[in-house]
């Protein structure tokens, strides 16, 4: 397990569960300015003989907009996942908030692909509501190789998400 606890806050944090593959942590300090409330951790693995970046993110709901530093994550061969508290029907939210519009514009401007299929990923016990708060988006070179699926509840208000990369690449042969 590769874990990063929330800076200067109690509880929470980010974690990757990595099995059977070598990885290297990404020094986020060189990619993201630290004076933001956007929490990010990243790892690099080798997939199909080249580096693949995976970023895990959290952005608190009480802040109105995303940090521009998130744009630094939009690089080739990248998977970006996390709870950004950004709501938009494109990934299954019941409504839209300004952060959702902002994130959708970033994803579109960079040509990234949203993997969400509209399934809710968060359940609020206080409001007895379901929402799609967790989002996954990938660089265009990875989009066709990815699948996204919400998993069973693990006693959290957020459901785990499984993103799989196809091991084989389809080849088109002209006859």
Structure tokens at 68: 């521009």
Residue 62, domain member (yes or no): yes
Question: What is the value of pTM for the model shown?
Answer: 0.82
Question: Cβ atoms within 10 A of the Cβ of 8, count?
Answer: 6
Q: What is the mean pLDDT of the chain?
A: 81
Range of the domain at 149: 2-165
pLDDT of residue 2: 59
CATH of residue 89: 3.60.10.10
Edge-to-edge strand order for the sheet containing 113-114? 23-26, 39-47, 50-58, 78-83, 134-138, 113-114
Residue 175, domain member (yes or no): no
Q: How many domains is the chain built from?
A: 1
Residue 123, domain member (yes or no): yes
pLDDT of residue 36: 62
Residue 76, domain member (yes or no): yes
Instruction: Name residues whose C-beta falls within 8 Å of residue 69's C-beta, 6 or more positions apart in sequence.
Output: 31, 32, 33, 36, 38
Distance CA 41, CA 155 (A): 23
Distance CA 13, CA 5 (A): 4
pLDDT 10s digits, 73-120: 899 999 999 889 899 999 999 899 999 999 999 999 999 999 999 998
pLDDT 10s digits, 36-66: 677 888 999 998 889 999 999 988 887 778 8
Residue 97 or 173, more confident? 97
Contact 88, 107 (CB under 8 A): no
Residue 174, domain member (yes or no): no
* H/E run at residue 107: helix 98-109
Contact 53, 42 (CB under 8 A): yes
Q: Decide: helix, strand or coil at residue 120.
A: coil
pLDDT band with cut points at 50, 70 and 90 for residue 24: very high
Residue 173, domain member (yes or no): no
Place of tokens 């692909």: 113
């Amino acid at each position: 397990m590769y874990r990063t606890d929330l800076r200067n806050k109690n509880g929470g944090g980010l974690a990757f569960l990595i099995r059977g593959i070598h990885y290297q942590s990404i020094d986020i300090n060189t990619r993201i300015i630290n004076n933001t409330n956007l929490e990010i951790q990243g790892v690099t693995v080798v997939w199909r003989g080249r580096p693949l970046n995976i970023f895990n993110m959290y952005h608190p709901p009480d802040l109105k907009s995303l940090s521009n530093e998130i744009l630094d994550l939009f690089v080739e061969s990248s998977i970006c996942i996390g709870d950004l508290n950004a709501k938009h029907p494109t990934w299954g939210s019941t409504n839209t908030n300004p952060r959702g519009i902002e994130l959708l514009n970033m994803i579109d401007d960079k040509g990234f692909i949203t993997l969400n299929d509209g399934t809710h990923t968060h359940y609020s016990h206080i409001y007895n509501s379901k929402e799609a708060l967790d989002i996954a988006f990938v660089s265009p070179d990875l989009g066709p190789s990815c699948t996204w699926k919400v998993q069973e509840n693990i006693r959290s208000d957020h459901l785990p998400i499984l993103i799989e990369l196809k091991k084989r690449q389809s080849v088109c042969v002209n006859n």
